[in-house]
A and B are shown apart, each in its own frame.
Chain A
Amino acid sequence: MENVREPWKPTRAPEHGTEQFRSHVERFEASRWNVPGTDKGWAERIQDAGNTWGTVVREAPTAPRTRLFEALVDRDVRYLVIGVGGVNLHVKRTRAPLMTKDLDLFLPLDPQNLLRAWEACELAGWTLWSGGEPLDRPRDLLVATRVVRWRALTTAIVEGELPTDLTFVMGSFDFEDVWLRRMGKYEEHVYVDLARLSDILAAKTQADRPKDRSFLADNRALLDDLLRAEGPPDPNP
């Protein structure tokens, strides 16, 4: 006689509050399908009737620049990405990025904000330099106030990424004006405050260094297209 197997029945799950329940939760949280940065958009899309769905797994965001932007948001730092790095964020991802040697972050003349920016850099694993030397310790409000007063440049460095300059100067622009016209953008999945392209290019025109003239001349057609796409600033920012 053929051996007929009983239909499978699930075993009883533990009750809430028990040791086994807590252990399950911890193991589930630590499982590979719940690592930070996993795409969980499907959980929302599944609720659309008739929509096909599937799990999309993405690697955890560990790129140093992503960590830096995350830390800047986390520390509530006001900054704007400017320079060629900023232009690259305006350029669509399908294009190859324009060549640059660094990423410029424009900061307001606010020592507290600068202090938070330094903390964010350290939190993300970047080291801080100023004038070719490691930045002095302790990095307190007194040091930050002096750096702001002298409009000194601080550079954050990490292996495998271009240096990031924390600057207080963007041509003759005032931070608050550029801040009001800023644009938001998601770089990897992190929110980045970005200066308008027209402001970035105006600052480059004002600086009028040979490398700026060369950058503007070499990429004229692309920049014109991007400026047209950007349009006028929002009248009610």
Chain B
Amino acid sequence: MRPQYEILDALHRARVRHLLVGAAGANCWAFDGSQVFSLPSHEILVEPDPRALRETWSALQRLGYNLREGTERIADPHAPGCAESFACEGRSSTGYRMRDRMLVEIHTAFIGPTFEELWAARRTFLAGELALEVARLGHVLDELWTRNRHFDHLIVSTWSQGMHDMLEPNPEIAVILAEHRARVRAGLVGKDG
């Protein structure tokens, strides 16, 4: 199983409500490879509940991840009230696994809608047998834009162009395609592919 799916599978088993957000979430909405961003980290939003966070951390540790908040290592076993404080204050933690350099960002807060609103609007996709719970594309792109970082703006702009080209194609393209189909019908060229 791919490392990212290993984590999602563990969260499903622990019955932790979670959503893929950030670039990992946007990738799930992609129409083709031109919209997929290859990043070393995966962002997961878990419900802001101490139990959910504790279960998430345990799942990550069982899979061999080291937990940190920023550069600070989260003590193992966790200090009493640690998960409560993370969930209450909407802090993020990261899990890093040395052997395959996997980085997972665990968020408990989202800029804009509440977790319940995001959960209600989510979309469930598949990866083989695994269910991918993904935040709405609109929510993901809005949050990326609000982070106000150059790279996140780049993701949103790429998405905007991709959607625009798909939904409102240039009329010139229609003409080129019609000419191509006519040539195929006339037997002048082979079929696509």
Contacts and interface: CB of A to CB of B under 8 A. Distances in A.
Given A44-B127, A46-B33, A10 B27 contact: no
Contact of A44 (B5, B145, B157, B172): B5
Interface in B158-193: 160-161, 163-168, 170, 172-173, 176
B131 to A, nearest CB: 5
A16 B123 contact: no
A52 to B, nearest CB: 11
B151 interface: no
Contacts of B29: 28-29, 34
Interface in B103-156: 123-132, 136-138, 141-142, 145, 156
B126 A38 contact: yes
Given A43-B36, A55-B32, A25 B163 contact: yes
Given A8-B176, A28-B167, A40-B132, A33 B141 contact: no
B30 interface: yes
Given A16-B156, A39-B126, A47-B38, A11 B33 contact: no
Interface of A: 8-17, 21-22, 24-29, 31, 33-34, 36-41, 43-47, 53, 55, 58, 61, 73, 76, 184, 186, 189-191
Given A25-B163, A40-B127, A43-B36, 14 more contacts: A8-B173, A9-B170, A11-B165, A11-B168, A16-B156, A21-B160, A25-B141, A33-B31, A39-B126, A44-B5, A55-B32, A184-B13, A189-B126, A189-B131
- In the complex, the 10 A-B pairs of residues with the closest C-beta atoms, listed nearest first: A41-B127, A13-B164, A13-B161, A186-B129, A13-B160, A40-B125, A24-B163, A43-B27, A25-B138, A47-B38
7 contacts: A10-B164, A11-B168, A16-B142, A24-B167, A28-B31, A29-B138, A36-B125
